[in-house]
Structure 1
Amino acid sequence: MSRQPESWLESGVNLLYKLRWGLLVVFLILTGFAYFPASKLDFEQSIESLYAKDDQHLLDYLESKRLFGGDELVFVAYTVPGLLGEEGSRETDELKEVRKFSQELSQIPGINADVTQNLANALSPPKLNFLLRVLIRQKRDELIELSRGVLIGDDNETTAIVLRLLPEDQSPVPRAETFKQIRELAHAHEPRAYVVGEPVQVYDMFRYVEEDGDVLFKVSLSLLAVVLLLLFRRLRWVALPLLVVICSIWWTEAVLVIGNLQLSMVSSMLNSLVTIIGIATVAHVAVHFQALQRENVPRPDAIRRTMVELLPAIFWTCATTAAGFLSLLTSEIAPVRSFGIMMALGTLMVLIASTVLLPGGMSLGYLRQPSKQSDDKGLARKLKQVAQMNERYPKRILWGSLVFVIFAAAGFSRLTIETDFSKNFRDSSEIVKALDFVETRLGGASTWEVNFPAPSQLNKEYLDRVLALAEDLQQVNPPDKTQLTKVISITDTLDFVPAKPFASDPIQSKLDQIEDLQADFESSLYNPEQGRMRIVLRALERQSAEEKLSLIHKVDALAKKHFPGSETKESDQESKAVHGEPGKAAGIFILLAYLIDSLLRDQLYSFLLAATSIWLIMSLAFRSLKLGLISMVPNLFPIVVVIGVMGWTGLTLNIGTAMIASVSMGLTTDSSIHFISSFLRARSRGASTDEALRSTQHSVGRAIIYATSALVAGFSVLTLSHFIPLIYFGALVSVAMVGGVFGDLVLMPILLRLTYPDKAESAA
């Protein structure tokens, strides 16, 4: 009988096998070179980058930053018994120590020393004329009340030093160094001081993501190596998956550096996701290769057969995974789009690394022939029992799964978004302890504002309107609940300071004298050139999503009520309405409150696009729309379950879970494609549906269990993170992968049996 000509796939695999040593060496050398650019990959640490460029909250924040310099403030708070001394006493030793500590903090590089605020200077400004000094001494109690909630707490013992950061492009050192030195002084202070402020919170978030992500990736790789060794009991099948993963990551990161892309908080999970794809791919190859070895197939033939039979599945797996992540390109947020590109690139690198490294890797060294009997008899027995269960109770399983999915889906309506930024950190973390101290003893740790149109020259009528808005804002808190802890208006200090005698403009005269009290007072609240004024607000960070968003809406509504931005002009200059854009709330407090909402905004569309793309690619791969639909079941099942369980258990959507649907869709396709491919191969050899499903369950099922066990063990390390979203991400991805196992080994066989019934069943 004449031998059939080789297919293009067999010819390609034979060529790969012939060149395996050269490809292995060259690829490893190039990977070594790739490490150097890969190590220079930067981490984008801007909260603004997590918003679409045309997002109104972001535009309002950037406008405020341009008009008033931004509120990049750091509060250093601590308790000083006897801070104020006895009533009527002059400056106490404790206040002198506050001034000294404030001077030390002000000398830290990156701090604008000219505008540092502290209670000692507020009660006794160092640069004042004699008359103002006498006046301030007489109005000491009023000054204390003005400083209440900012520089002094209700207990008259807690005080804070307010530091204003220099803009990053003007700072002589990176922000990380500035915060490090502030904390060192705070920790060394007696009593210990606590450091808070939105810039610190944002910095800690990015620091934990970067540091924990790197450490946990290395630890999880080590744990993965141990688990793979226990499962495969061969060092080869420990080294090869890790080699594929590391090469893929280094190549991906090197290309990102060359392309001037940066990692962000969204893409910080890049290494972890590439690990999932790489480990799962090599696990299927290992199980298939070992099965051929048990049948006494010579190693060269076993390598070639493994590559011929699995390369198409690996290719389509990578194609569907890449398509799932590329759907994120529809996002309006640049880091989300970059994440989609990065993951598609990482998936391509896994395909290349697997194709190039595995033939040579499987050929290296002595390979002990595996025994005819499988080392995992217990697993084989369990898989056989699952197959029998699928055959006996298909309808019960399908109906039970449908009821469970419907129940889980009902949890969608219970999903909530986390807006308390402190909930991103463990309660034991430094930033949460600091927030607890400040918000229980001093007041809100979050600074934001309402800004509104203003005339180029202030007048009494306008200031009365500002005062009315400030008074309404002070009453905005609901009964028995404090949300807004401080309202700082220009009218507070104007009423306190007298005008100079015979001044032509009394209001401007007051502003000039206030400048001696606080250098940046006027410029931080009023911009006459741009015709805008603001009232600065302090609010509690540690409050629920509903409370925080309700507060923002109420404050914004009050700003628009008092300053609607009327276009009506009157002839009388003194009573003329202030024109321009209506009043509005703005600030990083609002950006943090709407952060998850921003990330979620276009995720539904991305998810639908991902699902459609994956279905079309799978239909193309198997040349069947029906098989494409069947393959989607085990991919959608874990997503519905994971998100539904989040709703039912009260887990909130945070930074780590905002894109869990799109991410899961890109990760659960691997096993489905391998399962269907193995089933179709068995059918093409003449096996019945039941026989094909049993053999697939035994071979591919083992690979699925091995890969999932290793990855769940590896991702369990994420539960050790300081950053709560990383913990959520690790746990939920693990649950999604376990759900994918159920979909592939239970639901998939039942659906395939219904689609490909045996002839006897069809006749019946």
Structure 2
Amino acid sequence: MMGLPYRRWIKRMIRYRYWMLGFAAVLWVAAAFTGRGLRLDRSIESMFAPRDPILVPYHRMQRTFGEYEVVLAMYADDKLATDAGVARVKEVQERLKKLPGVAATVSLHDLPGGTKFDGPGLGTNYREVFAGFTHNKDLTAAGVICLIERPGEGKSTRRATLRGMRSIVADLPRGALVGEPVLIEEAFDMLEEDGRRLNTWCTLLVMLTILICFRSPIWLLLPVAVVQLTLALTDAALVLSGLELSMVSSMLGAIVTVVGVASVVHILVHYLDERRDGHGRRRALFNTIEELAAPVTVAILTDAAGFAALMVSKVGPVHDFGLMMAIGSLLVLPSCILLTPGMVWLSDFRQKPQAPSDDLALGRWLNWLLAWSSTHVRLLAGAAALVVAISAWGSTRLKHETDFTKNFRADSEINRAYSFVETEFGGAGVWDLMIPVTKEGAKRTSQPPALAGRHYVEFLKLQRQIKEQSPELTKAISLGDTLAAGIGGESVLGAASGRMLTLPMNMMRSQEAMRLFVDTLYQADPEDGRWWLHVLLRAPEQLGADEKALMIEQVQSTAQERFPDAEVTGYYVLLTRLIESVLADQWKAFIVATIVVLGMMIAAIRDLKLTAVTMFPNIFPSLILFGVMGLLGVKVNMGAAMIAAVSIGLSVDSSIHYTMFYQRLRREGLPCDVALAKSQNSVGRAAVYSTLALTVGFATLCVSDFVPTIYFGVLVSLSMIGGLIGNLLVLPVLIRLVDGRSAGAVIAS
């Protein structure tokens, strides 16, 4: 029973309901204005913890060679080796060069003798070096290497530059634009579009679900108001805290919507039950707030805890997503407090008593389900044990998805482009090997050290060795390759002195485009003055997780055998590590969420046995999902990796309402069976409605073009349905099991 001061506060909430609505309206306007400054962080660095060791070589590469990013524009041309084909390459190159943000382009025209196909010679040597970049080996496809400016103040945005390049490539036969900057930018474009579309459709479908369940549009007032106020407050809170949206934040609005609606549904169902029992508006509203204040608060806190558990992840987007969703979930509570008294009062303007809840078809069906489960305990136990055992075995067969192109639908334009490049050019993944030329702490020099030919031959031997040990690696190109092509071969290069290499070096640097390209292969780190040689590596983007990880590890270990300070980095490496980090943190986040939610439930329920049985039906749905994925061979991506922790917080909501409602009835002296029947009827209906709203809301994520978002929506929906089944079938049986003795005592008294 609530204390007297608490009851006085509830009476004041009802008395000043319109003042609270007015304050909520002012708060919404201020929050909406502040939230307009929310932005999407498109940098790859934001996907990792600031002190993650993997960023050290990446930042060095950016400082040393990173003035420009490499993007490849490619297309099919069976007549590439003819005059018409050569002219077409020139035309495409000129169009690309004119785009704002494109610093330089390199094609066959920029290779010494590159457009002369009449026999062996200098052109043949250079074409062999640049095969896979400016053309394919069969000369049936052409490519233009584009050096584009990194995003910065006063520069053309990368997004605008890539849009212009894409429009040019779209006019070419099988035209494709590839490169890790393209993957990242395309992903963020899709996510921004997803965010707008998902928020709209999620809200519409959830409200339609409520309309069908409550059969009157007037009951949409409270959920619409709570959702809109919470979304505005969340955006404003993120702006004021300096946070920016990240890769997985496109579903922020959709998830806040379903979390808010889940809380509101329980309030509406309980209020309508009070009205059906013959209470007036004021008494029904008072009883609803008094009896649901604790369960709604605890449920919202467990939602926030499930999301906050993702903050244990070292992956920036996942960490930020957990923080943002925890903030959004918590803000549902003040929204409900401010809006519930006034909105419910306005919604029930007719003040007409309705039919008793016992006459509701859903209530009768739920009570039948309760009776069935109580008489089939052994069947339920056996089925649950079998499902859990099979799922545990299936989860050991899980495989991870590290092909970043698989984050896009199979029929998307970006997947078509990458398939073309993988087939014709031997791999679309571009990454980097950096080899130190001078020692750490050496004297700074403004000019590059004049290396003799034998040094470049050492680099070329290393390139051959890493290609032999990593057959998936399709290309390795460095300054040594271009010098060998210009001087007459590797044997001649090995005998050349540093002075003898001046002529071929100057010849390559005579053209602006080639000068900029050569500068990306040999530069000094401006921070410490150390000079580094840059080796461009090519590998298929569409490789499996184990193959990618093994190849990267082999290249790094082989390079460090010859050059201990050598470093491997680039988008290709970072994105591979990104997925691995997300998957490595999934079980840690799940354990943290379970412990925190369990602690909250112990504090709220204050009965260890009831807490344990309340938690039980909500732990296994996520584990069963992972087991099924393992059995079916469905790979785990970024979206799937987050659902374990999140679903714990979301699915436990109805269990909390069920158990706390049951406890209140037991304190009033009702026997166990009667209390269970009333809980099944009242809370069970609210659980069905809220789960239906949650499932429909998360189902909108399935229309996303970003596959992890689809996975997240589908798997959370299935997990919620699994939790509902557990709450309606398993939880009553477990409650009767642990509370049976006290039931007999109550009946006897």
TM-score by length of 2: 0.92
Determine the structure 2 residue equivalent to 1:550.
Answer: 550
- Contact map agreement 1:445 1:541 (CA 8 A) in 2: yes
Aligned equivalents of 2:233, 2:153: Cα separation in 1 = 35
Determine the structure 1 residue equivalent to 2:89.
Answer: 98
CA-based RMSD of the aligned residues comes to 2.7
Aligned equivalents of 1:713, 1:341: Cα separation in 2 = 24
Taking a change above 3 Å as real, the CA distance of residues 430 and 246 of structure 1, as seen in their structure-2 partners, is same
Determine the structure 2 residue equivalent to 1:169.
Answer: 152
Determine the structure 2 residue equivalent to 1:575.
Answer: none
Determine the structure 2 residue equivalent to 1:246.
Answer: 228
1:145-160 equivalences in 2 (<5 Å): 145-160=128-143
Asked if residue 208 in structure 1 is aligned to residue 205 in structure 2, the reply is no
- Contact map agreement 1:328 1:336 (CA 8 A) in 2: yes
The one-letter code matched in structure 2 to 1:559 is: A
- Contact map agreement 2:73 2:176 (CA 8 A) in 1: yes
- Contact map agreement 1:68 1:524 (CA 8 A) in 2: yes
1:344 shift after superposition: 2.4
Taking a change above 3 Å as real, the CA distance of residues 152 and 334 of structure 1, as seen in their structure-2 partners, is closer
Aligned equivalents of 2:85, 2:186: Cα separation in 1 = 31
1:443-454 equivalences in 2 (<5 Å): 443-454=426-437
The equivalent position to 1:43 in structure 2, one of 28, 31, 40, is: 40
Q: Unpaired segments of 5 or more residues in structure 2? A: 439-448
- Contact map agreement 1:451 1:559 (CA 8 A) in 2: no
Aligned equivalents of 2:605, 2:410: Cα separation in 1 = 50
Determine the structure 2 residue equivalent to 1:466.
Answer: 459
The one-letter code matched in structure 2 to 1:388 is: A
Aligned equivalents of 2:683, 2:194: Cα separation in 1 = 34
Taking a change above 3 Å as real, the CA distance of residues 759 and 617 of structure 1, as seen in their structure-2 partners, is closer
1:503 shift after superposition: 8.7
Determine the structure 1 residue equivalent to 2:510.
Answer: 516
Aligned partner of residue 638 in structure 2, secondary structure: coil
1:104-119 equivalences in 2 (<5 Å): 104-113=95-104, 116-119=105-108
Aligned partner of residue 451 in structure 1, secondary structure: strand
1:612 shift after superposition: 1.4
Aligned equivalents of 1:454, 1:440: Cα separation in 2 = 35
Asked if residue 493 in structure 1 is aligned to residue 490 in structure 2, the reply is no
Asked if residue 58 in structure 1 is aligned to residue 55 in structure 2, the reply is yes
Aligned partner of residue 653 in structure 1, secondary structure: coil
1:136 shift after superposition: 11
The one-letter code matched in structure 2 to 1:28 is: A
What does the per-residue CA deviation read over 1:643-667, in whole Å, with 9 as the maximum and x for residues that have no partner? 2222222222212122211211221
1:634 shift after superposition: 2.4
Aligned equivalents of 1:600, 1:19: Cα separation in 2 = 49
Aligned partner of residue 497 in structure 1, secondary structure: helix
Aligned partner of residue 152 in structure 1, secondary structure: coil
The one-letter code matched in structure 2 to 1:118 is: S
Aligned equivalents of 1:714, 1:324: Cα separation in 2 = 18
1:634-649 equivalences in 2 (<5 Å): 634-649=617-632
1:513 shift after superposition: 2.3
What does the per-residue CA deviation read over 1:181-203, in whole Å, with 9 as the maximum and x for residues that have no partner? 1111222x343522111101111
The one-letter code matched in structure 2 to 1:608 is: I
What does the per-residue CA deviation read over 1:466-515, in whole Å, with 9 as the maximum and x for residues that have no partner? 1211222332454xxxx222111222221222499x99711344322222
Determine the structure 1 residue equivalent to 2:75.
Answer: 78
Determine the structure 2 residue equivalent to 1:68.
Answer: 65
Taking a change above 3 Å as real, the CA distance of residues 438 and 624 of structure 1, as seen in their structure-2 partners, is same
The equivalent position to 1:651 in structure 2, one of 634, 640, 646, is: 634
1:133-148 equivalences in 2 (<5 Å): 138-148=121-131
What does the per-residue CA deviation read over 1:44-97, in whole Å, with 9 as the maximum and x for residues that have no partner? 112221112333332222222222226721111112232112xxxxxx132123
The equivalent position to 1:195 in structure 2, one of 165, 174, 177, is: 177
What does the per-residue CA deviation read over 1:121-148, in whole Å, with 9 as the maximum and x for residues that have no partner? 225589xxxxxx9999942222322221
Determine the structure 2 residue equivalent to 1:229.
Answer: 211
Asked if residue 120 in structure 1 is aligned to residue 109 in structure 2, the reply is yes
What does the per-residue CA deviation read over 1:526-568, in whole Å, with 9 as the maximum and x for residues that have no partner? 23651322321111111221222222122222212332x3xxx
The range that moved more, 682-691 or 32-41, is 32-41
- Contact map agreement 1:718 1:730 (CA 8 A) in 2: yes
The range that moved more, 289-298 or 515-524, is 515-524
The one-letter code matched in structure 1 to 2:540 is: L
Aligned equivalents of 2:702, 2:34: Cα separation in 1 = 30
- Contact map agreement 1:294 1:370 (CA 8 A) in 2: yes
- Contact map agreement 1:109 1:171 (CA 8 A) in 2: no
The one-letter code matched in structure 1 to 2:484 is: D
Aligned equivalents of 1:602, 1:753: Cα separation in 2 = 37
The one-letter code matched in structure 2 to 1:65 is: Q
Aligned equivalents of 2:510, 2:707: Cα separation in 1 = 45
Determine the structure 1 residue equivalent to 2:667.
Answer: 684
Aligned partner of residue 448 in structure 1, secondary structure: strand
Aligned partner of residue 431 in structure 2, secondary structure: strand
- Contact map agreement 1:245 1:279 (CA 8 A) in 2: yes
Aligned equivalents of 1:544, 1:333: Cα separation in 2 = 21
Aligned partner of residue 263 in structure 1, secondary structure: coil
Taking a change above 3 Å as real, the CA distance of residues 370 and 419 of structure 1, as seen in their structure-2 partners, is farther
- Contact map agreement 2:252 2:325 (CA 8 A) in 1: yes
The one-letter code matched in structure 2 to 1:53 is: P
Determine the structure 1 residue equivalent to 2:536.
Answer: 536
Asked if residue 435 in structure 1 is aligned to residue 431 in structure 2, the reply is no
Asked if residue 17 in structure 1 is aligned to residue 8 in structure 2, the reply is no
Taking a change above 3 Å as real, the CA distance of residues 538 and 376 of structure 1, as seen in their structure-2 partners, is farther
Aligned equivalents of 1:418, 1:452: Cα separation in 2 = 30
Aligned partner of residue 396 in structure 2, secondary structure: helix
The range that moved more, 164-173 or 416-425, is 164-173
Determine the structure 1 residue equivalent to 2:306.
Answer: 324
Asked if residue 275 in structure 1 is aligned to residue 252 in structure 2, the reply is no
Aligned equivalents of 1:274, 1:359: Cα separation in 2 = 21
Aligned equivalents of 1:112, 1:619: Cα separation in 2 = 62
The one-letter code matched in structure 2 to 1:202 is: I
Taking a change above 3 Å as real, the CA distance of residues 159 and 171 of structure 1, as seen in their structure-2 partners, is farther
1:731-750 equivalences in 2 (<5 Å): 731-750=714-733
Determine the structure 2 residue equivalent to 1:576.
Answer: none
